[in-house]
Structure 1
């Protein structure tokens, strides 16, 4: 049986384009003992994938040339030679191939409980983005009622959850996003107290207006000039969960900005970088916290769903143009 696969064909310099991907037809191998035949239902595209296109050491290994792209996939079991899985089961794997169907060992994924939420949510609010928000905010941000929390990339998959969790914990929440529509959405639909468009001519001044009492927690998904502007308003003992730096992912030279160490020293600021798999042993805790909030409607979530397996490259590239609101996924 032949299926379509998206192969990583070339390493980009700067902003990638569709030339780094190639569509191939591949033959599915026969199942060996312990293998499972899966059919992809939903595919995740995420900013960290840009880093894996570079041949450098990082927290995730580089994509291999002439091998399929891979990422988070929700799939259905078609056939199984692993006693843990039966045809019809819905499963999730963090590093599954970009192929319509594939054969893979049963240790690469796990069953998911679709009674908790729709299957695609396990790529979003009950998956990597939701867990990233939960652990980053609670473990590093350590929010207290009455504090001011600022979230960059606030209309993205992680930022939306961070903001809502902050509100539930009693914080004043200010989001930073890139369009007026997203600003309205953050305030009117997601309960942010204030939101700032980072395209404003004097971003630091606008952040100051939105945060008259300064900033106690800055959840940084973006870096670059946005973070430079936020730093002007940090309070003593501010905490910075450092989650993403999407502003520099496509840079072709080392970005240069203000030296932040004097500010961190003077104000006793804590900045800690993290990735969600640091908390792998506690994922069940995070899902247990988030799932009831999602089911009760107390934690809302937005998906940008792109239809069609062949749209995966376009969807990934769209992240760097801000084409997503909430989690960007592709439905096969």
Structure 2
């Protein structure tokens, strides 16, 4: 990296559906200097999220679209390397929405948290101990409300959120069924994340295999996909089942809204509930979730896999790669030395 230059990944085209590498450009600006009361953060890892598709599309979302020409919005973890604030020391490791860039000069109010779990890799602050882990924890425990002995089904079960959901369900004494794409991710579900059953949705006989895995019915469905996968799971809901809607990764484009099977009859007949959520609405849950997740990691009860790309040059195609199913675990981009 050239000294005194801040590389940035900027959105230059409004995508329709999944953003592609050509929708971004890598540019450079002079090294930012913090103003009075500000700090400068040297980013170490950039996060890559499926939700970024919604952040850059023009379709209505829970947050405003990233403006054209702006640095791509992203959670990052980094080290304060310059400080004009007495409360924030150089060397402090922090996370926040600092964007896909080497450096960010920010007000301390933009800092989401100080990374306190220094006995664990700093990268975990963006995955298992970041938004992904907290999302899994809240959605399953507060909305799914699993009880010991119940069957919990998870789609994108080997992903950063899904893999955590399945393991928390096991910790709570549930039987778990994971749905993933391809034999390697199915293997991960069984061998790394401890699912009792794992089903490959790409198989020609997916419906039959899912029915066998869910022979006793589904009590909690943690839905990260929507679409045909979820249509099949709905057929197996038990009386009083809870459906947690966390993501819609299977839908490439919501304009026009796709027409699929209607879920109302399943919910009515099974007296089931279905609720969507966005974790940003529940900041009060973050500390509790991180504390439990970190302790389970230390105890060896919670495992994680990270898919780390090297260099900011990998960023433009990183989101599209998620939707192509290339990643094995939480996708991150390493741009600095810890």
TM-score relative to the length of structure 2: 0.95
1:173 aligns with 2:176: yes
Q: Secondary structure at the match of 1:329?
A: strand
- 1:76 pairs with one of 79, 88, 103: 79
Alpha carbons 2:156, 2:224 under 8 Å: kept: yes
**Which position in structure 2 is the counterpart of 1:144?**
147
Counterpart-to-counterpart distance in 1, 2:225 and 2:207: 15
Deviation at 1:251, TM superposition (A): 5.2
Q: Distance in 2 between matches of 1:238 and 1:322?
A: 29
Q: Tell me the residue number matched to 2:6.
A: 3
2:167 touches 2:194 (CA, 8 Å); kept in 1? Answer: yes
Runs of 4+ more than 4 Å apart = none
Identify the residue that residue 156 of structure 1 maps to in structure 2: 159
Tell me, what secondary structure is at the counterpart of 2:232?
A: helix
Paired with 2:48 and 2:33, the residues of 1 have a C-alpha distance of 29
Matched, 1:277 2:280: yes
Residue of structure 1 aligned with 2:193, choices 190, 195, 203: 190
Distance 1:138 1:236 in 2: 19
Aligned equivalents of 1:121, 1:185: Cα separation in 2: 19
Give the TM-score, by structure 1 length: 0.96
Alignment equivalent of 1:253, drawn from 256, 261, 273: 256
Q: In the alignment, is residue 206 of structure 1 matched against residue 221 of structure 2? A: no
Alignment partner, residue 291 of structure 1: 294
Change (3 A) 1:13 1:57: closer
CA contact (8 A) 2:305 2:328 kept: yes
1:105 pairs, out of 101, 104, 107, with 107
CA contact (8 A) 1:177 1:198 kept: yes
Matches within 5 A, 1:6-85: 6-85=9-88
Question: In structure 1, what is the Cα distance between the partners aligned to 2:19 and 2:294?
Answer: 35
User: Out of 282, 287, 309, which is 1:306 matched to?
Assistant: 309
Distance 1:166 1:31 in 2: 44
Q: State the distance in 1 between where 2:119 and 2:274 align.
A: 34
Question: How far apart in 2 are the matches of 1:189 and 1:31?
Answer: 43
| Partner-residue secondary structure (3-state), 1:6 | strand
Specify every segment of 5 or more residues in structure 2 that has no aligned partner in the other structure, as ranges: none
CA contact (8 A) 2:20 2:319 kept: no
Q: Check whether the contact 2:22–2:316 (CA below 8 A) recurs between aligned residues.
A: no
Q: Which residue of 1 aligns with 2:90?
A: 87
Residue pair 1:129, 1:158 contacting (<8 A) in 2 also: yes
Q: Output the CA distance in 1 between the equivalents of 2:187 and 2:59.
A: 39
Q: Is there any run of 5+ residues in structure 1 with no aligned partner, and where?
A: none
Q: Distance in 1 between matches of 2:154 and 2:321?
A: 21
Alignment of 1:263-274 (within 5 A): 263-274=266-277
Larger helix share, 1 or 2 = 1
Residue 314 of structure 1 and its aligned partner are, at CA, apart by: 2.0
Tell me, in whole angstroms, the C-alpha distance in 2 between the residues paired with 1:195 and 1:312: 31
Structure 1 range deviating more: 302-311 or 52-61: 52-61
Q: CA deviation at 1:236?
A: 0.8
